[in-house]
Amino acid sequence: MRQHLVVGNWKMHTTLSEALILATSLRNRISEIGGVKVVLCPPLPWLVPVAEILAHRKAQLSLGAQDAYYKEEGAVTGAVSAAMLKGIVDYVIVGHSERRRIFKETHMLINEKVHAVIKEGMTAILAVGELTRIHHQEKRHHGRPTRTEARSDITTQLDEGLEGLSKKEVAQIVIAYEPVWAIGTGQAADGVYANHVAQLVRKWLTRRFGAQAALEIPILYGGSVTGENVEEFAGQPEINGVLAGGASLKVKEFVALCLAFAQ
């Protein structure tokens, strides 16, 4: 059975003491929930102290990093390599739209990062998503991109992001479908829409890696997921979990996401 996964992306939030309190509460609450894998992605400097809090956790709770550089070491001021994160985290988010937009990360860089994360034995959570909502009409409407254009955003991100990956390596990939227009806006996609795009992603994965491998890859939805709307996504056949930003900072809310995906 495909694993269900709930990922909390804390982004650039929490002081150290807030991070420790949040991690402790989540560890205690999540240990009571079975049948879902949960990944916490705190800010980089809190990874080690949070790892200590989670030291005696159950296997279903993992730690993830929000990014990693692809070179093992060297003169790269400010960067932290996937090799350095090995042994601290099991997952690394790669290609988040905020990295693409704010840090101008290219497809090529994202692809290098994916390879580095896999090489170090961790799982890469590759984030992909269209900039504006996919419309059902093919003609340009009020200046917004057509469905074909938006769909090609996602396929380009998949083509380029997963370039050169083998069928074996793709077992270390999770896809997070995150429509950029839904991130942090309070305007989540509806479940049917998100499932439709997840289906397109699954088809792409099937063409590229074969049906068996594609079936095993978790596809998450991300973008303004809350305790209120999570059931909408949990009920969709192609959506295997969520990647949450804002909701991951609130214990009650994040636990609700985990419960919704517990199998």
Catalytic residue IDs: 96, 178
Question: Which member of 225, 256, 257, 258 binds ligand PGA (CB under 6 A)?
Answer: 225
User: Residues 64, 246, 259, 261: which binds ligand PGA (CB under 6 A)?
Assistant: 246
Question: How do 5-9 and 37-41 pair as beta strands?
Answer: parallel
Tell whether residue 180 is a contact of ligand PGA (CB under 6 A). Answer: no
Contact 41, 257 (CB under 8 A): no
- Tell me 87's DSSP state: T
Q: Which residue type, as a one-letter code, is found at position 94?
A: V
The token duo for 212 is 């068996």
Residue 164 is classified by DSSP as: T
- Per-residue binding string, ligand PGA, 136-175, x by CB under 6 A, is ----------------------------------------
Under the binding rule (CB under 6 A), the answer on residue 183 touching ligand PGA is yes
Would you give the DSSP letter of residue 125?
E
CA angle, corner 97, sides to 94 and 102, nearest 5?
105
Q: Write out the binding residues for ligand PGA, residues 7-36 only, by CB under 6 A.
A: 9
Q: Is 244 in the site for ligand PGA (CB under 6 A)?
A: yes
- With CB under 6 A as the contact rule, which of the stretches 130-138, 139-147, 216-224, 255-263 interacts with ligand PGA? 216-224
First to last CA, the chain: 10
Q: Tell me the residue nearest to ligand PGA as measured from the CB.
A: 245
- Return the amino acid letter for 28: N
- Give the interface with ligand PGA as residue ranges (CB under 6 A): 9, 178, 183-184, 222-225, 243-247
